[in-house]
Structure 1
């Protein structure tokens, strides 16, 4: 089962930036620009063995949102029998997540020795998902757990997030 709620959750946490248009005319002012460094890519940097230890099937990998890349983000997700996980990276600061309407119930957490900000996204799926953002030199790394809506008796998704985080967070960039 693909993560049907992924697009909803990304919409709930993503901050859309406005991009200016270029007239197409080149006007050199003698200045140079420096390209932003590439974001850490969870699809290529998280080994299959770690994903299996986190309780998901590496063969279910999905890049982007429903397979569509998102500008300013690296996104990769995997499904397991009880929950799915998605790892996001972006150059946005933690504060943007805290200011985003719909992101609620923020609290400080420490997972695998790393401090982050756990939160939920309001809406019909609020009780199925749990997110944490960790500050990183590039911006943030976000870990999201989404419980299967088809199963009953599952642990709270934030409990799964901590278990999965113990495996994956040590792999995240500083």
Structure 2
């Protein structure tokens, strides 16, 4: 399942900031379900009503995951207490490279077992944790653009919203 891969990809920097802009959990990670408004979710092409918390209603320690459905893809936003370095060193990643999106350094990557390039990820440090944005194509549907192109475009919207 698309969301299981998100759990394998995580990495994050944990730190608490006074006057946090977003609700945080007990270890100081932002709540990814609270970052995007319904209007912003629609702007990036997903239906706010399709929100799913965690992975198939199962919480994984060290990860806060929220996901939504688009027409041909799934979008997930994750906060994790793993560092960006841990994400970069994760052996299930491939095609890792650093880039700049919305003025922030990000790590862009795909998963080693994804032979059809059906998903793409962007991870970056926030003041509260590491954030991960993942776009995964739905099986059997035409892709009007690549998941990597789309995840970059979505990151342009999401990154400025996080501390």
* Shorter-chain TM-score tier: 0.7 to 0.9
**Misfit runs of 4+, over 2 Å:** 35-38
Q: Could you list the runs of 5+ residues in structure 1 that have no partner in the other structure?
A: 16-34
Of 100, 113, 124, 2:90 maps to: 100
Q: CA deviation at 1:14?
A: 4.2
Alignment match, 2:15 = none
Question: 1:11 and 1:44, CA in 2 relative to 1: closer, same or farther beyond 3 A?
Answer: closer
Partner of 2:75, secondary structure, is strand
Asked if the contact 1:131/1:145 (under 8 Å) is kept, the reply is: yes
Asked if the contact 1:131/1:143 (under 8 Å) is kept, the reply is: yes
Structure number, greater radius of gyration: 1
Partner of 2:55, secondary structure, is coil
Partner of 1:88, secondary structure, is strand
Partner of 1:52, secondary structure, is helix
Asked if the contact 1:132/1:142 (under 8 Å) is kept, the reply is: yes
Q: Could you list the runs of 5+ residues in structure 2 that have no partner in the other structure?
A: 12-24
Asked if the contact 2:72/2:143 (under 8 Å) is kept, the reply is: no
Of 150, 167, 170, 2:140 maps to: 150
In structure 2, how many angstroms separate the alpha carbons of the residues matched to 1:153 and 1:39?
Answer: 33
User: Across the two proteins, how many residue pairs are aligned to each other?
Assistant: 150
Question: 1:124 and 1:158, CA in 2 relative to 1: closer, same or farther beyond 3 A?
Answer: closer
Asked if the contact 2:74/2:138 (under 8 Å) is kept, the reply is: yes
Indicate whether 1:78 and 2:68 are aligned.
yes
CA RMSD in angstroms, aligned pairs only: 1.9
Alignment match, 1:61 = 51
* TM-score of the two chains, using structure 2 as the length reference: 0.84
In structure 2, how many angstroms separate the alpha carbons of the residues matched to 1:114 and 1:164?
Answer: 14
Indicate whether 1:5 and 2:20 are aligned.
no
Q: CA deviation at 1:36?
A: 5.8
